Amino acid sequence: MAGLNGGGTSVIVRLEIHKEQVTFGKIATAIGDAGGDIVAVDVTRASKTTTTRDITVQVSDPDHTEVIVKVLKSIPGVKLINVSDQTFLMHLGGKIEVTPKIPIKNRDDLSRVYTPGVARVCMAIHEDSSKAHSLTIKRNTVAVVSDGTAVLGLGNIGPEAAMPVMEGKAMLFKQMAGVDAFPICLDTQDTEEIIRTVKAIAPAFGGINLEDISSPRCFEIEERLINELDIPVFHDDQHGTAVVILAGLLNAVKVVGKQLESCKVVITGIGAAGIACTKMLLAAGVTNVIGVDRHGAIVRGESYTNSMWDWYANNTNPFELKGTLSDVIADADIFIGLSGPGVLKVEDVKKMATDPIVFAMANPTPEITPEEAEPYVRVMATGRSDYPNQINNVLCFPGIFRGVLDCRASRITQEMKLAAAKAIAAVVNEDELSEYYIIPSVFNHAVVEKVREAVMEAAFESGVARRRSQRETQESHHE
Ligand SMILES: NC(=O)C1=CN([C@@H]2O[C@H](COP(=O)(O)OP(=O)(O)OC[C@H]3O[C@@H](n4cnc5c(N)ncnc54)[C@H](O)[C@@H]3O)[C@@H](O)[C@H]2O)C=CC1
Ligand SMILES: CC(=O)C(=O)O
Ligand SMILES: [Mg+2]
């Protein structure tokens, strides 16, 4: 299993070396003494007094890189120009681009894709705006909108810093489900301005994926947009996460031989994901859910500044447990972490009921590491790609949006989310189920197709679908 920093990797350090002050041999020795393994050296520039070299060094983790950088900076005659590891290199210039579907080879093509030919298409849409679905990118595009306020578990890091996550989601949308997604990071944290802006850009899109917008603002933003737009709006940290958690739990309880409805569930982090996950569990018939945030368990009778917590207090914690996570976790069958690093202690896990299920989902660092928890838990899951049982909303959002785009759903109902959860869980056969395999791999191609089918079926039953399927839409694209 990889460590928390993600296994061995290589970094490229670009150094300007003053020939009269230091030799390359001395630098190589310093890197070696710091535990780095030089695997390649390129001279990228040379002058009479200096050479610039890119040195590729095998390191064990990002902390190890820091050690080597410190050593290099301390050598007289060495100027550190840049450090890039494989992760940073994959981000150079961004991760996605726009590619035309048809080439413009001559003036004839030009006059069709652009003016004057395009004008007829514009007027067709002007006369019947529903034609935007068949004659523009709208039918296959999703806006991934963030304000950068709750990026992974990193907090309010701003719109520019949120972009790599949103670009990553756009890649996943395309690779997993063929959906063209655009990362849109807004330089405002004002609820009304976000709503106004998303509504203003909506004409180009068939769906809106809200992402990493902190609670409680995310609830009003989503609700208003759902009601004011005629395309599906889905805050993935709420519902995508809840769908995948439910899928994982449906299978985890089979492994431990318990009934989900009768389990005691403790959730930490009663924000966007924690509240949606709770609602999903209540909809699935679970009654004993206890939510814990920074101040302790949320309980009836307390007054909260967060209006969602008033709702939470009145709809959860039936035995009115008070106190810290350590106080309320005794005899819990299931722990779900949607808060931050290191919140759950080994001592807390030891207090849980027999065969505990622990989903420590905070990214990038979970509430407890599998290494710490595993001796005491029966089923362990995290949100990360480098451990078994990855409970991550990437198992949901590509398929759910593929489904709603294909049946042109106006919204995503609770029935559609439940159907998606059951579809994900069902990808793992009964005879494949085990402690280490409660949820299909993100790379299992069956997931998107199964979720798409289930979501479309539920969309028709919920009365929100406006097309039988994308294929039929394609066949009748002049409608
Ligand atoms: N694995 C997955 O697919 C997903 C994981 N997450 C993770 O869940 C976490 C929360 O995300 P959101 O709900 O979007 O953020 P949010 O900002 O809406 O909510 C976070 C909540 O956790 C609480 N919290 C933070 N530290 C805490 C602590 N030490 N003890 C108790 N409560 C604490 C905050 O007060 C807040 O109420 C993040 O770490 C995120 O990476 C979120 C979505 C999907
Ligand atoms: C996975 C995800 O959406 C998050 O951690 O915020
Ligand atoms: Mg997120």
pLDDT of residue 479 exceeding 60: no
Compute CA distances 177 → 90, 134, 365, 414, whole Å. Answer: 21, 19, 28, 22
E strands within 19-109?
37-46, 50-59, 78-85
For 302-330, write each residue's pLDDT tens digit.
999 888 999 999 999 999 999 999 999 99
Structure tokens at 201: 């850009």
Q: How far is the CA of 146 from the centre of ligand 3 (A)?
A: 9
Q: In angstroms, rounded to a whole number, what is the distance separating the alpha carbons of residues 69 and 59?
A: 11
For 24-66, write each residue's pLDDT tens digit.
999 999 999 999 999 999 999 999 999 999 999 999 888 899 9
Give the pLDDT of residue 5: 41
HEC profile for 381-441?
EECCCCCCCECCHHHCHHHHHHHHHHCCCCCCCHHHHHHHHHHHHHCCCCCCCECCECCCC
Residue 220: CB partners within 8 Å, gap ≥ 6? 191
Give the pLDDT of residue 302: 94
For 121-165, write each residue's pLDDT tens digit.
999 999 999 999 999 999 999 999 999 999 998 999 999 999 999
Q: Identify the H or E element spanning 372.
A: helix 370-373
At which residue do the structure tokens 């579907």 appear?
101
Contact criterion met (CB below 8 Å) for 282 and 315: yes
* 349 SS3 class: helix
Q: How far is the CA of 212 from the centre of ligand 3 (A)?
A: 5
Give the pLDDT of residue 307: 86
Q: How far is the CA of 393 from the centre of ligand 3 (A)?
A: 8
Structure tokens at 101: 């579907």
Question: Could you identify the atom of ligand 2 that is nearest to the CA of residue 383?
Answer: 1
**CB-ligand 1 contact for 388 (6 Å cutoff):** no
pLDDT of residue 477 exceeding 60: no
Structure tokens at 444: 């299992």
- Averaged pLDDT of the chain: 94
Looking at the DSSP bridge assignments, the partners of residue 222 are none
Give the pLDDT of residue 6: 45
pLDDT of residue 174 exceeding 80: yes
Buried (b) or exposed (e) across 118-150, using 16+ Cβ within 10 A? eeeeeeebeeeeebbbbbbebbbbbbbbbbbbb
pLDDT of residue 478 exceeding 60: no
Q: In angstroms, rounded to a whole number, what is the distance separating the alpha carbons of residues 198 and 184?
A: 10
**CB-ligand 2 contact for 169 (6 Å cutoff):** no
Catalytic residues: 114, 169
Q: In angstroms, rounded to a whole number, what is the distance separating the alpha carbons of residues 381 and 241?
A: 13
Give the pLDDT of residue 403: 97
E strands within 236-333?
264-268, 288-293, 296-297
Compute CA distances 406 → 140, 259, 345, 396, 460, whole Å. Answer: 8, 35, 45, 16, 12
pLDDT band at 87 (very low <50, low <70, confident <90, very high): confident
At which residue do the structure tokens 């362990």 appear?
380
For 386-413, write each residue's pLDDT tens digit.
889 999 999 999 999 999 999 999 999 9
Segment among 53-62, 290-299, 419-428, 469-478 with least mean pLDDT:
469-478
Q: In angstroms, rounded to a whole number, what is the distance separating the alpha carbons of residues 416 and 406?
A: 14
Q: Which of 212, 339, 397 to mutate to test ligand 2, by most ligand atoms within 8 A of the CB atom?
A: 212
For 432-443, write each residue's pLDDT tens digit.
999 999 999 999
pLDDT band at 85 (very low <50, low <70, confident <90, very high): confident
**CB-ligand 2 contact for 333 (6 Å cutoff):** no
Alpha helices in 59-158 (DSSP H): 62-73, 86-91, 107-113, 118-127, 132-135
How many Cα neighbours within 13 Å face the side chain of 141?
18
What's at 264, amino acid-wise? K
Give the pLDDT of residue 1: 34
Mean pLDDT within 420-437: 96
